[in-house]
Chain A
């Protein structure tokens, strides 16, 4: 078993820290094509990791392998507790006739509820309160804005008390106002010492405001280090929007200090 060994100019987390996720020598092939090659990294308890890379870099494949939806060819994924997942907004049917509480309880039960018990409703309410969405509990998913929908999905992921939450492009397709709310929520998660997160995003504002560490993937781990070691660097900038295209919040774009 080889320990993750990034290039020395980047700073990985302290290997002595307790880990919520350990990805070791992961190789994944899909339809005979190698998508992930010897990918190794870990996520310490409470750390907010931003996963970046160009299109086709294997980010979604990595997430699905971590979640157990894809069987790796070799290597292993070790999780130390429940993993919550917020999917991309485009993957689910936004017109599905369902209320927020049903969606959240479905994650608790592993099946769609026909009747919701009072204790389940209370848990859903608490999860929604954590994302400031108590009022959304009985709303239909079709009636929610993009930001509200993602908040409900965040509550859905939080209801099982995960140690790690995976956010797959949560701000994609969300209007500016909703994006600001989501960024604030993600900042709160980032500050939490209990909950770790992996955020896949192309939104530079999201990275600048939340990342405690960045993992740059392109089939292999190209860089794994602290935000100031990557943000603004030439190779990293090539796959990210320029500061002018970044979020209207005026995301900080650290200067290249090399």
Chain B
């Protein structure tokens, strides 16, 4: 029993555990939808877009810290200091740009994502290089690989609020969205506004990615999006059951991975991803076989 309870003697571990479960479940839910839309790499693309946004936020943030209204609010200061105040609108704009390119139909999803991903990341590197030497140093490693153990109560609150809102919106639009994911033409024939749903899904993916980057890091966030969704696809027979399985696997993988990293004294983000990978391998080996 102490194996399970010991890690929670420290507050930061409790926060990390809850954040991991919330982010793991949230990314998996969005992952099921984007994977079904043929945009499995959107998490990767948007995470790199978030890097560009974070870097831009860090570049112009110091000037804003002098603003009295911002300086007076602890939450506003946190957002300015971690760059998320720019990363959020920046990433949403990139997501809408990808949706626009997809709708024009000249590029496939992976190509559109690849273009935006590379340009945003290059902008991020450029923005970081333009920061004055007097600016506080940036922990690039934490941005790239995440820092789940450094999650603050404020981060946790943000993640939870976003999770509740996203889940609510997705439940609301689920029938129309699922129909559009199955076949856009048939859905349109039934009066579903497929274009609006495209933009909505990518905007939601952007918001979730920005929130997840804080804990999972730019490089690893796509694993939270893709692996539980891919595993659940092998097991579930209906889209709704695939979504539930993915959420459970994402949350459980994060929890188990975090506990394992604590006891093995190894990097938590990487251990969580490896746990999700192990669950995928088990699904592959023991999951139901489909007709060839």
Contacts and interface: CB of A to CB of B under 8 A. Distances in A.
A96 B291 contact: no
A52 B250 CA distance: 50
Contact of A97 (B177, B192, B233): B233
B192 A92 contact: no
Given A87-B183, A99-B238, A109 B175 contact: yes
B11 interface: no
Given A107-B190, A142-B291, A97 B242 contact: yes
A102 interface: yes
Nearest to B180: A112
Contacts of B176: 111-112
A93 B186 contact: no
A140 interface: yes
B290 A142 contact: yes
B183 A97 contact: no
A110 B177 CA distance: 11
Residue from the set B36, B188, B189, B239 with the largest chain A CB neighbour count within 10 Å: B189
Given A93-B36, A98-B239, A142-B291, A112 B186 contact: no
B185 interface: yes
A258 B182 CA distance: 48
Nearest to A102: B238
B137 interface: no
B290 A143 contact: yes
Report the interface size class on chain B.
Answer: 20 to 34
Contact of A68 (B177, B189, B239): B189
B68 interface: no
B215 to A, nearest CB: 28
B183 A112 contact: no
B241 interface: yes
A69 interface: yes
A4 interface: no
A166 to B, nearest CB: 10
B189 A67 contact: yes
Contacts of A93: 36, 181-183
B36 A113 contact: no
Contacts of A102: 238
A96 B190 contact: no
A1 interface: no
B189 A69 contact: yes
A96 B36 contact: yes
Interface in A87-108: 87, 91-93, 95-99, 102-103, 106-107
Contact of B186 (A68, A87, A95, A109): A87
A17 interface: no
Given A69-B189, A85-B189, A111-B190, A96 B182 contact: yes
Contact of B182 (A68, A98, A110): A98
Q: Is the interface of B mostly helix, strand, loop or mixed?
A: helix
A112 to B, nearest CB: 3
Given A87-B185, A110-B190, A140 B36 contact: no
Nearest to A84: B189
B188 A97 contact: no
B291 A143 contact: yes
Nearest to B32: A97
Contacts of A85: 186, 189
A67 B237 CA distance: 31
A96 B176 CA distance: 15
Interface string B275-292: 000000000000000110
A164 to B, nearest CB: 14
A109 B191 CA distance: 10
Nearest to B174: A114
Contact of A91 (B178, B185, B191, B236): B185
B221 to A, nearest CB: 24
Residue from the set A87, A93, A111, A114 with the largest chain B CB neighbour count within 10 Å: A111
B244 to A, nearest CB: 11
A67 to B, nearest CB: 6
A189 B290 CA distance: 33
Contacts of A97: 233, 236-239, 241-242
Contacts of B291: 142-143
Interface in A8-48: none
A143 B288 CA distance: 12
A110 B190 CA distance: 5
B240 interface: yes
6 contacts: A92-B182, A98-B182, A107-B186, A111-B176, A111-B179, A113-B175
Q: Which 9 A-B pairs have the closest CB atoms?
A: A111-B175, A112-B178, A110-B190, A92-B183, A112-B179, A143-B291, A112-B175, A97-B242, A96-B182
Given A93-B182, A93-B183, 5 more contacts: A97-B241, A99-B238, A106-B179, A112-B176, A143-B290
